[in-house]
Amino acid sequence: MKNNKKWISLGIFLAAVAVLSAVDQITKIMAEAALKNKNSIPIIEDVFELYYLENTGTAWGILGGGRVFFIILTVIIFAVLVFIIYKMPLKKKYLWMRITVILLGAGAAGNFIDRLFLGYVRDFLYFELINFPVFNIADCYVTVGLILFIIMILFIYKESDFDFIKLNRKAKNG
């Protein structure tokens, strides 16, 4: 019965990641249709605008052209997230950790889809005021997920709360 709950938990994780990734993809499709080869659209003059960009790297275009590297890295990260969700105890205490892992998974999946099928990531949100790199909804998921994770590590969970991640290997004697 406990194992069935773990599989249900994993199914909920995958469904949530799929829904959030779909939202990301829909916004990217809409942004591409409205903005590609067109002028940016100011939302708040000189502060925030919609600006279409095809990014082959990470933030600020770092590691541009590293498509295969990012695809492999994303598959590894997603596998780790699936492992964590499967191993995480089914307790209310871990609800925010589950939400965080879902956000990280959705962000990874959203940009993975772009890299896999297009060879670049579609970015379209731009804070002109601080000249922040152009980003997308998947990037928001990752950023919020990482902020939540840092808060949880610093203020909520103790090191022992993460013992479930350790592989259950029995020590061999002699």
- At 118-131, the pLDDT tens digits run 999 999 999 999 99
Confidence of residue 70 (pLDDT cuts 50, 70, 90): confident
Cβ proximity of 122 and 52 under 8 Å: yes
Q: Which residue has the tokens 């994780």?
A: 13
Q: With 80 as the cut, is the pLDDT of residue 4 above it?
A: yes
Confidence of residue 173 (pLDDT cuts 50, 70, 90): very low
Q: What is the pLDDT of residue 51?
A: 97
Nearest to 102 by CA among 72, 50, 138: 138
Q: Which residue has the tokens 């903005």?
A: 35
| Residues annotated as catalytic (active site), given as ranges | 123, 139
Nearest to 8 by CA among 86, 110, 93, 102: 86
Residue 103 φ/ψ region, left for φ over 0, alpha for ψ in the -120 to 50 degree band, beta for the rest: alpha
Q: What is the pLDDT of residue 60?
A: 58
Please state the domain extents for the chain: 2-163
Q: Which residue has the higher pLDDT, 169 or 97?
A: 97
Taking the model in full, what pTM does it have?
0.89
Q: What is the pLDDT of residue 136?
A: 97
